[in-house]
Copies of this chain bind each other. A is one copy, B any other.
Amino acid sequence: MSSTIETTSAVQALKERFYDIDALGAASAMMDWDQQCFMPHGAAEARSHHTSILGRMHHEAIVADETGRLIEEAANAVVPESEEAALVRVAKRSYDLATKVPASLVAEKLRLAAIGHEVWVKARKDNDFKAFAPTLEKMIEICRQEAEHLGYEDHIYDALLDQYEEGAKKTDVEAMFGTVRKPLVDLVKDIKADGRDIDNAFLTGDWPEEKQRAFTENIVTAIGFDFERGRQDTAPHPFCTGWSVTDVRLTTRFQPLLNSAVFGSLHEAGHGMYEQGSPLAWDRTPIAGGVSLGIHESQSRFWENIVGRSREFWVCFYPELQKTFPALSGVPLDDFHRAVNKVEPSLIRVEADEVTYNLHILIRFEIECALLEGSLGVHDLPEAWNAKYADYLGVTPPSDALGCMQDVHWSAGLVGYFPTYSMGNLLSYQFLAKMTDEIGDQRALWAKGEFGLTLRWLQENVYSQGKRYTPPDLVQRVTGKPMGADDYLAGITAKYRAIYGM
């Protein structure tokens, strides 16, 4: 009896501590959301002060000795394998990640990231890689130091990757790309050589914003995003954020290319439903919400690509889309379905289709490993980048702006982040395969607008687990095997061979 009380009170004290940390995080997250959706232009400087102060307070609250003490006391009190043990484990991971790196290095990285962003924006605009190179070199060096502080067993890259995808290693990523590279490159070549021509010009048009807004809200509601516990606004670069399982915010954008809002909304709603599916009882605690970037991306990709780009989805929604946008009234369903799945090797990652996307990531992964190891010098980056684009995608960037300077990540110090996008792509198909094993092919239901069983399976197996298990544990528990490429390759090959009539 007394041991239960001790357990309860030690864990409760830790929870209370993290409720405070969570409130500071929530405040920062809301300020960031507001900045991207609503903030008047003139407020940028004041906002930067507010977020930097709140960020500092958040960091101070995590690294405080008191937090370490509460974690230790709770760790001694919990039953192994219990929900509470998971809470302590995740709290300890936050504490460790925040305390292992000296505050001076954290501050130096933040400073360099702020400056680096400006430098990158200008260098990209001027297509002047030389102007960006010194900053990137410094950032790579800081990331190296950061990795040494964080520690690793096998490879320096592991320390950085683990921040974004707990438990993942460079060898896992290599194995992943080792399996998918050739089949993907071959599939792209086959499509080019033998696939039918697909026209997608009709997707670009003058689509009224209010109609795009209403249509995306409809489909996002239909798949199961709960507007009682969330909303959708507009932002220049769509994202999903939130500060409670009961308050999840999506954003989308309205462009001449209809894909942007439609699939962007489905993508963000995938992230959003994952967050909304976390148990209410865990709200504001360390184990609430999505467990990693890779698992998160598996859900955004699942709803965007597997559901949203399926023929069945449009059997259900295409009539409504045509009614909303009469310019599509002459376009048959199959033409529309093929158009939104058109494969086309291109220069820009964020515009890439489902098949070529992972090749863009592979290039970035190989390059950031080489930069970290020192086997590639920053000044040779453009050449290495262009060679890989020619090799894997058959395209050559006409400029570094459209080549190795296209992404924001490295200037922000996000090294080791890119592979999580590909993990998400693989895992979306791995979850689909297991779901199909267990409850059968759901596509006929999608064609009737019924997404409940699909969502329920994901909810029960993935969303309701929050951060209780590490990402590799979760994948093993749900699919009975570690992350692999088989389901992805089988799924994507079948899908695109059918679409291209091969």
Contacts and interface: CB of A to CB of B under 8 A. Distances in A.
A246 B31 CA distance: 14
B40 A54 contact: no
B46 A23 contact: no
Interface stretch (A221-229, A332-340, A399-407, A421-429): A221-229
A465 B49 CA distance: 23
Given A19-B53, A53-B19, A247-B46, A231 B26 contact: no
B50 A231 contact: no
A57 interface: yes
A46 B246 contact: yes
Contacts of A19: 49, 53
A37 to B, nearest CB: 9
Contact of A226 (B42, B57, B243, B246): B42
Interface residues of A, number: 37
A47 interface: yes
B47 A247 contact: yes
Interface string A400-434: 00000000000000000000000000000000000
Given A43-B246, A246-B42, A284 B228 contact: no
Given A30-B31, A34-B30, A243-B50, A229 B23 contact: no
A38 B20 CA distance: 23
B243 A46 contact: yes
Interface in A44-78: 45-47, 49-50, 53-54, 57
A41 interface: yes
A492 to B, nearest CB: 36
Contact of A229 (B40, B53, B228): B40
A184 to B, nearest CB: 40
